[in-house]
């Protein structure tokens, strides 16, 4: 099993143009070796994981759906 220290993963921030949506995330799957640009299923994980931080007063994203993916939020 591969392990990573989440404290050393770079946090990427984002914000929508009007500032309603925004947050920061750490790509755990990429830190564990997933090749982010690859479409080869042998180079990807069966699912992706990230730590997402949403500041007070912001929303992560507008309501949306995925036709070929699942999203799990805790």
Q: What is the pLDDT of residues 19-70, one digit of tens each?
A: 899 999 999 988 988 887 888 877 777 778 889 999 998 988 888 887 777 7
Q: What is the pLDDT of residue 34?
A: 84
- Output the pLDDT for position 74: 64
Structure tokens at 59: 């929303």
The CA distance from 1 to 44, in Å, is: 15
Residue with more model confidence, 56 or 71: 56
pTM of the model as a whole: 0.72
User: Distance of CA 51 to CAs 8, 18, 40, 55, 67, Å?
Assistant: 13, 24, 24, 13, 23
Domain boundaries defined on the chain? 1-74
């Amino acid at each position: 099993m591969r392990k990573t220290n989440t404290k050393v993963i770079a946090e990427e921030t984002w914000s929508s143009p009007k500032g309603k949506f925004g947050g920061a995330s750490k790509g755990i799957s990429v830190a564990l070796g997933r090749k982010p640009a690859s479409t080869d299923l042998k180079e990807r994980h069966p699912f992706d994981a990230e730590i997402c931080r949403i500041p007070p007063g912001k929303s992560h994203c507008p309501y949306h759906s995925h036709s070929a993916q699942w999203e799990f939020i805790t």
